[in-house]
Each structure stands twice: as structure tokens, then as C-alpha cells.
Structure 1
Amino acid sequence: MNAIETIESRRSVKHYDPEHVMSEEDLAKLIELTKLAPSSFNMQNYRLLVVRDPELRKQLRAVAWDQAQVTDASVLFLMCADLNAHLADPAKYWSHAPQEVQDILGPAIQPFYEGKEQLIRDEAVRSSALAGMTLMIAAKGMGYESCPMVGYDPEAVAKLVNLPSDYVLSFMIAVGKQTKPAWPRGERLPDSEVVSYDRF
């Protein structure tokens, strides 16, 4: 399946085979592909919480509108992000690059974000969203279906998973083997409503 076919056929699937177990090899590959998502300054500030514990999944389902995919999908991912990633030693992100690149990008990271709480949070959500979309496309290419989810109590979820205080919870993604067809795709809005050129 090529990239265009993958994008065109990817759907938000609600019904999964609860007996299916994702292999360790598939899980590792899915994570590997997800980590190829772009991020500002290569900070990779997305954080993936892989939830497979059945009892925890039941507790999460209880605070997620009782949505069946929380427990029935093969794996539940919580897409999070580290709000302090910009404070790390820049070598963590750029030690592989030529020295001239390190000299430009390394010193620029902290000043770019310093004192800009909204930008830091926006960047966290952007990075986790890019990683999440990468994960869903990768899952589809590997023969799995997925469903991004924001229908849950974020405070309750944070408590259940011991979310670090310097992390932000972005959304969940259920991944597994489909048992029922996806709902009909909603009509796309016309270009006249969503596309502008040069200026609004």
C-alpha cells in the first residue's frame, strides 16, 4: 500500500478484536516508525505511553465515556509531550550533526522558548499530533486500524497513569484489528471553506 492509498483508506475505527495481541515485533516497528515524525529543533518532545495492562485499560475506559476501543484494541497509546524538552542539553538532539549546524541550532533552542509558556504548550501539542498522525498512518500500513480519541476525563486519566507534572496529555490512539466496518466517512468541507491563498 503506497502513501496515498494509506491516507485515503485510513479511518477512525471503533470496533476491535479484543482477543488479538500485537506482537512485540510489530509494536517495536510501530514505535520506530512513529519516532520518525518531525518535531521543532528535533526535540522529539512527544512521549508515548503504551498501555497494555488489562486492569488499567478497564479503569481508563470508565473515564473515557465507556468507549469499547479503550479495552478492545490491541494497544492503547497515550500521546503526551514533555513541556521541558527545550531545557535539555542541545547535544541530546544535535550531537550527530556537523559542528556548524550544532553551533547554530544548539544555542537557539532555549532562547526561542524562554518565558513563552503558550508557545511551549503549543509546541508540545504540535509534536504529539505529528507523532500521532505518523503512528496512525504507520499502523494502517502495517495492517492495523486506529482511532484517535479525546473523549475522556483528562484529570482522571492523568491520575491513573501517574502523568508527570511537566508532561501534557494530548490524546489517545487505539490500535488493533478491526471487527466491524468503520462508519461512513463524513463529507469533506468544500475548499471554499478550508482553503485560502496568500491572504485571508
Structure 2
Amino acid sequence: MQVSEAVRARRAIKWYDPEHQMPEETFNKLMEHAILSPTAFNIQNWRFVRVRDPQQRQAIRAVAWDQAQVTEASELLVLCFDNKAWEHEPQRYWQNAPQEVQDMLVPAIDGYYRDNPRVERDEGMRSCGLVGQTIMLMAQELGYETCPMDGFDFDAVGKIINLPADHDIAFMIAIGKGIKESWPKPGQLDLDDVMVTDRFA
């Protein structure tokens, strides 16, 4: 499948075959591609919680407006980010780069993030947005449908997954075999409505 085909085919699907199990090999292929997504300073600050326990899924569904895809999709990923990833052995993020690049960028990581919680959180949300789109497009290529979700109680889900204090949740993605097509796209704005050249008027 071409990237352009995956982009056009991807929809937020709510209805899944609860009996289908994604082969582990397929899941690994999906996630091996996901972690190739870009992050600022290559800090790879996303963290993925793969929720497999049925009782835990049910608990999340209870705080997610009782949305069926939480329990019926083959996979449920909670996309989180580590706000302090930048200070966890930052040299490893550039260990394969030329020494002069390491000498320049590794110290810059500290200078960019230290004492700047807004940047930490903003970068986490950006990173999860990028990796989330990679997951959804790759899933499409692999024959799966997805549903990105933010309709849930973030604090309650954080407690269910035992989210560390220095982590935040960005959103969740349900992944599975759809059993019902989504309705037509409800209303796509024209490109002229969402893009300006050089500056806003």
C-alpha cells in the first residue's frame, strides 16, 4: 500500500471484531516502525502502554464514556510521554553520531529542557502526535483499522496504568479488524481555508 493510499483510507473506526487477535509478529512489525518516528533531539520520549488484561480494559472503558472499541479492538495503546526523557543518559540518543556532533548536541539537550516544564510537555505532545500517526498509517498498511481517542478521564486512566509522576498521557489508539465502515467524511475544509502564505492577514 502506498502512503497516499493509507492516508486516504484511514478513518477512525469504532466497531471491531472482538474475537480477532493480532499476531504478535504483526504487532512487533507495527511497533518497530512506530519507534522510527522523529522526536526533538532524538530523545524518543514516547512511552507505550499496551493494555492486554481484559479487566484493565474494562476499567478503562468505564472511564472512557463506555466506548466499545476500548474492549473490542485487538490492541489498545495508551500513548504516554516521559517529561524527563531528556535527562536519562542523553548521550545514548546520539551514540552513533560523529564525536563532533555528540559534543555539540548532547549538552544542548540539557540547555533546552532544564527548568522548562512547558517545553517538556509540548515536546511530549508533539512526539506522541507524530508516533500516533505513524502507528495509524502503518496499521492501515498491515490491514488494520484504528481509532485515536481522547474521550476519557485522563487522571483515572493514569491511575489504572500506574502512570509515573513525571509522565503524561497524550491519547489512546484502538487497533483491530473493523466490522463496520465509518460514515463518509463529515466535512473536509478546503486547503485555502487552512493555509496562508507567508503570514496571516
TM range (shorter): over 0.9
Distance 2:171 2:86 in 1: 21
Match of 2:129 in 1: 129
TM-score (norm 2): 0.97
Give the superposition deviation at 1:116. 1.3
Match of 2:2 in 1: 2
Q: CA RMSD in A?
A: 0.8
Match of 1:184 in 2: 184
Sequence identity of aligned pairs in percent? Answer: 50
1:5-39 Cα offsets, whole Å, 9 max, x none, are 01011110000000000111011111101101100
Correspondence 1:80-99 to 2 at 5 A: 80-99=80-99
Secondary structure of 1:182's counterpart equals coil
Aligned length: 200
Unaligned runs of 5+ in 1: none
Secondary structure of 2:76's counterpart equals strand
Secondary structure of 1:124's counterpart equals helix
Unaligned runs of 5+ in 2: none
Give the superposition deviation at 1:182. 1.0
1:139-169 Cα offsets, whole Å, 9 max, x none, are 0011100000000011110111101111000
Residue type of the alignment partner of 2:151: G
Give the superposition deviation at 1:59. 0.7
Residue type of the alignment partner of 1:50: R
Distance 1:134 1:40 in 2: 16
Q: Would you say 1:139 and 2:139 are equivalent positions?
A: yes
